Structures are given as structure tokens and as C-alpha cells.
Amino acid sequence: MSLHERLTAELKELEPQIIRWRRHLHQNPELSFQEEKTPAMIAEILRELELDEVRTGVGGRGVIGVLKGVRPGAVVALRADFDALPIQDQKEVPYKSTVPGVMHACGHDAHTSQLLGLASVLAKHREEFAGEIRFVFQHAEEESPGGAIQMTQDGAVDGVDAIFGVHLWSMLPVGQVFISPGPIMASIDDFVIEVKGRGGHGAIPDETIDSIVVGSQIVGALQTIASRNVSPMESVVVTVGTFHGGDNNNVIADSCRLTGTVRTFMPEVRDRAQERLTEIAQGTAAMMGASAKVSYIRDYPAVINSEKEAQVAREAALAAFGAERVKPMKPLMGGEDFSYYLGKVPGAFLFVGAGNPEKLANFPHHHPRFDIDEDAMLVAGELLGRTALLYLEKHSS
């Protein structure tokens, strides 16, 4: 039996422990940049595995475990995240969050548990592969600036040849694997537009410059970025999420404030969207006698999978699960700071279905009743493990 096949069997044997880890983390969630007990737990488990190196405090709160094979070779990194969200857990399950107003509503507890399980299995087989596997446990994926950029600045992927990560996805069927090269998740940008007009009595509009009317015109005009400023073959989303202005029904507001988000995949489209958003907001306001101050904040870049690394992952997935379970992944307009790792080294971000209506695991991510089918953790662990081993076999002499 090959190491790939034994990996599958030994992960299955470890499944009860992986589930226990996941449920413990689900009951004890910690918010981004406030993680203390979670990284301590991860580090303790990695030390018990007697890895070659365990680093804590990476980039602030991250943890890295290093497992070296029988001889030097390529270095592959595997990443999981472990922060939670400020959401009240509304599930009625034994492992419901015990922290008021905080829950794992995106699967990060499972990401961490499946990677701990994989590290536990591979640590027993270091004499059977060449090269190095680096287990990267990241804090603060959910909140900008995000833990990934901090960890990369602290050397998390220095010397790494490729990096892979898996996201469990409740809106995809459990057990299926989704892999594609190229853009897979969008860049995330935020904006604030502050419109300044001239307030006055609601019955005398001719003596005012109505900031709410100006803001409304800006909202409509911003939609032309997608329809008239970006190629139909490209993707961009411009969403105004909040609009605040005015204090009374018979008073024309002196000012109003709009906030929103812009999502794109390609850097040139991102630049164009920022340029046009600023021009449209300021130009529309000026046309109506008002002014507009635009603040544009760039958060995470787009996640763009490397062609070769995505192909390695697909080859590993096909061997493990068969063609009927391995699908291409349609790009998502959601964002992920895994992009910062891919800005340093080639790699691929993969998806594993974790949705199952029969187990009430079909609520969207960031929903107060979010949950996963825990069977997906073994699939994700096996996918990462087989991908890492295959990559090392291909790139270690």
C-alpha cells in the first residue's frame, strides 16, 4: 500500500479526534487579532507530534509547524485559518458556541482541525518522503489587514516552493472537490463617499443643494462602471451598502455618506474601477453644485491560482476521488487573504463541498446557523495531504 493510500486509511482512523478538535474550537471561538487559546492549542498539539520545528507568534498570532522528510527537497506549505466571526450562534447542537456573540461561521475551526489531523498522520511517515512540509496556521483571515500579510512579512513562506489551501464550502455538495487554475476569488476594496451640499428648509429647495439627491445620482451613476467602463468579458461588482443622510423629514440634508465595496479579479480592472469611481462621484457632485470626498481602501488582492500547482492538485484529487467527484470551480466574488501567499510563491486555493441539507449544513457562510457536514474534513485533509506528497515527488530529486 502506497503512502497516499495509507494516508487515507490513517486519516479515517483519526477522524474521531479531528471531530473532537473541531467541536472544541467551535465551542470556544476567538475573534480576529484576539486569538490566544486557539494558537496555544495548535502549538501544543504540534509539539506533541515532535515536528522538526514549531514557531509561535508568527506575524503576531500565527503558528507554523515544520516537518522534514528523509532528505532535503522541495518545500511545500499547507495553510489553515482559525479565527471566528462576531455572530451569535443560533444552532441547536451540542457543540454550539459558548462565547456570546462569537461563532465559527465560515469553517475555520474545521480547516484547522483537518490540518492538525494531516500533520498527525504525516509526522509518522517522515522517513517516506523527501523535502519539507510546512503547516501554516493563520490568525485573522476575516478582518483586514488580515493575518496572511503579517505572516508573509514574518517569513512564513520564505523558502517555500508552493503553497496550497482548502476552503470547506457549505453551498457545495459534501464530498465533491473543486479545483481551477486562474482567478478563483475576487479582490476586496472598500470605499467611502462623503457628499457636501447646502442644507435648508424642505419647503425651499431652490435655496439648497440637496446632498441626498446628489448622493442618489452618484449611486445610479456608479453602476455604469460595470456596464460601460469594463469589458463584458471581465467581472466587476460595485455595491453601495450604506447611505446615511438627514435628520428630519422637512430638512434638506447638508451632507450624506455612502459606503460600499468593489470586487474584481484582474489588477487592471481593479485600477480602472477605482479611477472611475472617484471620477464619477466627484464629477456628479460638481455637476450638481456639491462636492464629494472619496476614500478608497484596497484590502485583499484577488486569489489567482497558478496553472501548474492547480494541475498537481487536480491530479492528486483524481487519483483519490475519481473524475465524478472532481469539478472545476467557478470564480467567487468573495475574497480571501490567501492571495498574499500567492503573491509570494505559486500555489492553489481549493474548495471541498461541505453542504448537506439532511444534517442542516446548508446555510451560507457567515449565517448564524452555519454548520458543515464533518465528513468533509477527511476529504479536505486527504486532498491537501495527497497534493503535498505528489508535489514533493515531482519536485524533489
- Residue that has been written with the C-alpha cell 443560533 in this structure: 90
* Other CB atoms within 10 Å distance of the CB of residue 4: 16
- Is there a binding annotation on residue 128? no
150: exposed, middle or buried (Cβ count in 10 Å: 0-12, 13-18, 19+): buried
- Beta bridge pairs of residue 298: 189
What stretches of 158-201 adopt beta strand conformation (E)?
162-173, 177-178, 182-185, 187-196, 200-201
Q: Can you state the angle between helices 108-122 and 37-48, rounded to 10 degrees?
A: 10
CA atoms 309, 184, 117, 16: torsion sign: negative
Residue 256 annotated as lining a ligand binding site = no
- Among residues 30, 141, 337, 374, the one annotated as catalytic is 141
Instruction: Give the active site residue among 30, 83, 109, 336.
Output: 83
Q: How far is CA 376 from the centre of its chain?
A: 18
Q: What's the rounded Cα separation, in Å, for the pair 246 and 199?
A: 9
Distance CA 52, CA 298 (A): 38
Q: At 161, give phi and psi (nearest 5°).
A: -90, -30
Buried b (16+ CB within 10 A) or exposed e, 241-256: eebebbeeeeebbbbb
Strand 236-245's sheet: what is its strand order? 236-245, 255-264, 187-196, 291-298
**How far from 8 is each of 11, 132, 321, 374, CA to CA, in Å?**
5, 20, 11, 16
Does residue 83 carry a catalytic annotation? yes
Annotated binding residue 106: yes
- 190 assigned to active site: no
Q: Please tell me what DSSP assigns to residue 300.
A: P
**Strands 162-173 and 182-185, sheet pairing:** unpaired
Is 167 marked as binding a ligand? yes
- Is 142 within any annotated ligand binding site? yes
The candidate with the shortest Cα–Cα distance to 300, out of 179, 169, 138, is 138
Q: Per the annotation, where are the binding residues for Mn(2+)?
A: 106, 108, 142, 167, 366
Active site residues: 83, 141
